[in-house]
Amino acid sequence: MRKLHVLALCTGLSIAAAACHGKASTQLSKDDAPSVLIDRNWIDRMPETMTDKLHVYRFVPSMGGGVFQDRTLFKGTFELFMFKVEGDHIVFALPETHQKVRSAFTIETVDGPPPFDLKLTIAEDPRGPHEYYGIRAETDRDGKVLDAKLAAMRGER
């Protein structure tokens, strides 16, 4: 009987937690996630001012690796890295520190925060905050979609 009470309590807490979260999400399959990962800006937050700090990943295999940025809109630092995707893991090779990190990752569709509709979670992120957001419609290889959205936020044309 005690096990039944514990099970009921756990089930109730799970339902309450899901209800409080309020935003629907759907995790992409292991087959789809690698193609969605590449050639897209992944940013930890949409900046509200020109001096807000943000972190950005971009995985670009056609350029031989990727870049991680710790920045504001106009100033920051970057780190180049090599990577490969092995199923549901990213293997990072960081040349400057000679560090190699293998981390599980997931991508899910989400409803925000605006304008984002994708969320990347890197379990053992070698540099940043573990959660990043992207835009499914981003198809330009130069990052101009995000740049345009940021310019619009600042009131530029």
Give pLDDT tens digits for 43-57.
999 999 999 999 999
pLDDT at site 24: 55
Domain boundaries, the chain: 26-153
pLDDT at site 157: 59
Using the predicted structure, report yes or no on whether residue 77 has a pLDDT greater than 70: yes
- CATH number for the domain whose boundaries are 26-153: 2.40.128
pLDDT at site 17: 33
- In angstroms, rounded to a whole number, what is the distance separating the alpha carbons of residues 109 and 157? 29
CA dihedral 34, 38, 44, 50 (to 10 degrees): -170
- Mean pLDDT in residue range 9-13: 29
Using the predicted structure, report yes or no on whether residue 14 has a pLDDT greater than 60: no
User: pLDDT band for position 138 (50/70/90)?
Assistant: confident
